[in-house]
């Protein structure tokens, strides 16, 4: 009986061992098959590629301001203006980038809050005229300037109080490398005030001071669609 039990146990172990070997073998074969299928999915098949190159550069928009010598441009102090006085400076404005420009405007702001820059009737006013060539200028008082080309009004008399809120339009377009030769006229309008016993009226246009900043601005040309 003991011999029979030992034999049965040995046979059972052999069968179990044989079954495990088959399980391992089937699992290995299945794994190899899966890997083969996966590899075929990743690496097999045809591919094709076509390429092209294109060089692209972006344009520049540049606006520069320079004095039209011998005028000193905006760098001078205007002193002791009386009602009716005018002060002219001559500047060159150039669109020096690679893009044409549109909507050239001028805004003027002043420091402080006085009649010079807040009054639309008594305060400072600006007029701008253009010349097709550089102005011929003789500096001094009274001084003189002439345009040997064509003169074009660009901005009618406009109070600084207005220009500080709404820039004035000077030109609708500016071509690449185009220069505008400008006469910038600053005027204190003619007006009447009475100073009584050394005391000026209130408000007054007398004894005031401000620093004006002239801001010329342009926008890029309209966006384009090009077919090549």
Taking only the tens place, the pLDDT of each residue in 146-156 is: 999 999 999 99
pLDDT per position as a tens digit, 38-84: 554 556 899 999 999 999 999 999 999 999 999 999 988 999 999 99
Rounded to an integer, the average pLDDT of 3-7 is 47
Mean pLDDT of the chain: 89
Q: How many C-beta atoms surround the C-beta of residue 186 within 10 A?
A: 20
Q: What is the DSSP letter of 114?
A: S
* Residue percentage of the chain with pLDDT more than 90: 78
- Helix ranges (DSSP H) in 72-199: 115-118, 160-163
Instruction: Give the separation between CA 36 and CA 39, rounded to whole angstroms.
Output: 5
Q: What is the gyration radius of the CA atoms in the chain, in angstroms?
A: 43
Q: Which domains does the chain have, with CATH numbers?
A: 63-191+208-220 (2.60.40)
Burial degree of 54 (CB within 10 A; 0-12, 13-18, 19+): exposed
What 8-state DSSP symbol labels residue 73? Answer: G
Dig out the tokens for 114 from the structure: 């006085």
d(CA 83, CA 160): 15
Q: How far apart are CA 30 and CA 179, in angstroms?
A: 82
Q: Enter the pTM of the model.
A: 0.78
CA of 18: how far to CAs of 4, 11, 13, in Å?
21, 10, 8
């Amino acid at each position: 009986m003991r011999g029979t039990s030992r034999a049965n146990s040995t046979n059972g172990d052999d069968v179990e061992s044989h079954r495990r070997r088959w399980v391992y073998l089937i699992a290995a074969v299945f794994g190899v098959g899966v890997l083969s299928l996966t590899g075929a999915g990743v690496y097999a098949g045809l591919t094709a590629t076509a390429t092209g190159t294109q060089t692209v550069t972006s344009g520049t928009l540049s606006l520069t301001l320079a004095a039209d010598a011998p005028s000193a441009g905006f760098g001078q102090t205007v002193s002791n203006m009386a009602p009716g006085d005018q002060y002219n400076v001559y500047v060159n404005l150039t669109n020096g980038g690679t893009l044409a420009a549109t909507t050239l405007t001028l805004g003027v702001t002043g420091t402080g809050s006085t009649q010079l820059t807040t009054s639309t009737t008594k305060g400072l006013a600006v007029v701008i005229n253009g010349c097709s060539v550089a102005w011929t200028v003789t500096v001094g008082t009274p001084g003189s300037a002439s345009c040997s080309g064509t003169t074009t009004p660009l901005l009618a008399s406009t109070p600084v109080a207005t220009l500080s809120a709404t820039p004035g339009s000077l030109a609708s377009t500016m071509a690449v490398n185009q220069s505008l030769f400008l006469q910038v006229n600053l005027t204190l309008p003619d007006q009447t005030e009475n100073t009584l016993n050394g005391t000026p009226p209130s408000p007054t246009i007398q004894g005031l001071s401000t620093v004006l900043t002239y801001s010329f601005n342009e926008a890029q040309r309209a966006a384009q669609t090009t077919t090549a």
